[in-house]
């Protein structure tokens, strides 16, 4: 290797030994295997990001939920919002859900990850349009889970 740029060798060696590759494990699962009534769930364990999406029989729908979860998780991690806070809020929200209320926990006024959820939903909607997915039909399918 050409040693005319020794600073580049230092940088290369730094990243070689200090860079940890990102790993995201995404799987579809039966809706009944979700830890609570949600179509998508995420957590991180030992540096691996896990995403679980409820099976809906439609690859586009499942992909959209996965994209939402990836974006939401990345923003929450960046902003210091812990998964335990999110799960606690979501579980409490579902416990107190009124009959006929189809809103998402992430849209609630006191939601600790409302901003992150809103941004993830915005990207999800853009992607749905690009895939030719009708948003209402997609949401109806999610609400039937």
Per-residue confidence (pLDDT) for residue 60, from 0 to 100: 98
| DSSP 8-state secondary structure symbol assigned to residue 105 | G
Query: Strand pairing of 48-54 and 40-45?
Result: antiparallel
Per-residue confidence (pLDDT) for residue 86, from 0 to 100: 94
Per-residue confidence (pLDDT) for residue 22, from 0 to 100: 86
Q: Is residue 20 part of a domain?
A: no
Q: Is residue 8 part of a domain?
A: no
pLDDT tens for the chain, 145 residues long, are 455 555 555 555 555 555 677 899 999 999 999 998 999 999 999 999 999 999 999 999 999 999 999 999 999 999 999 999 999 999 999 999 999 898 999 999 999 999 999 999 999 999 999 999 999 999 999 999 9
Other C-beta atoms lying within 10 Å of the C-beta of residue 81: 18
Per-residue confidence (pLDDT) for residue 21, from 0 to 100: 78
State the residue range of the domain holding 66.
56-143
Q: Is residue 62 part of a domain?
A: yes
Domain count, the chain: 1
Q: Is residue 5 part of a domain?
A: no
Sheet with 48-54, strands from edge to edge, namely 23-29, 48-54, 40-45
Question: Under 8 Å CB-to-CB from 38, ≥6 apart: which residues?
Answer: 54, 90, 94, 105
Please give the model's pTM, rounded to 2 decimal places.
0.84
Q: Is residue 100 part of a domain?
A: yes
Q: Is residue 123 part of a domain?
A: yes
Per-residue confidence (pLDDT) for residue 16, from 0 to 100: 59
Phi-psi region of 132 (alpha: psi -120 to 50; beta: other; left: phi over 0): left
Q: Is residue 82 part of a domain?
A: yes
Q: Is residue 71 part of a domain?
A: yes
């Amino acid at each position: 290797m050409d040693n005319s740029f020794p600073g580049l060798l230092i940088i290369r060696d730094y990243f070689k030994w200090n860079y940890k590759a990102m790993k995201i494990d995404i799987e579809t699962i039966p809706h009944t295997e979700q830890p609570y009534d949600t179509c998508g769930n995420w957590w991180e364990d030992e540096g691996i990001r896990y995403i679980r999406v409820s099976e809906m029989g439609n690859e586009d729908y499942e992909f959209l939920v996965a994209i939402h979860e990836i974006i939401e998780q990345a923003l929450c991690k960046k902003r210091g919002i812990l998964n335990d806070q999110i799960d606690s809020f979501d579980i409490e929200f579902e416990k107190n859900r009124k009959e006929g209320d189809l809103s998402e926990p992430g849209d609630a006024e006191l939601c600790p990850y409302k901003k992150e959820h809103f941004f993830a939903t915005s990207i999800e909607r853009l992607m749905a349009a690009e895939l030719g997915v009708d948003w209402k039909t997609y949401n109806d399918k999610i609400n039937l889970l």
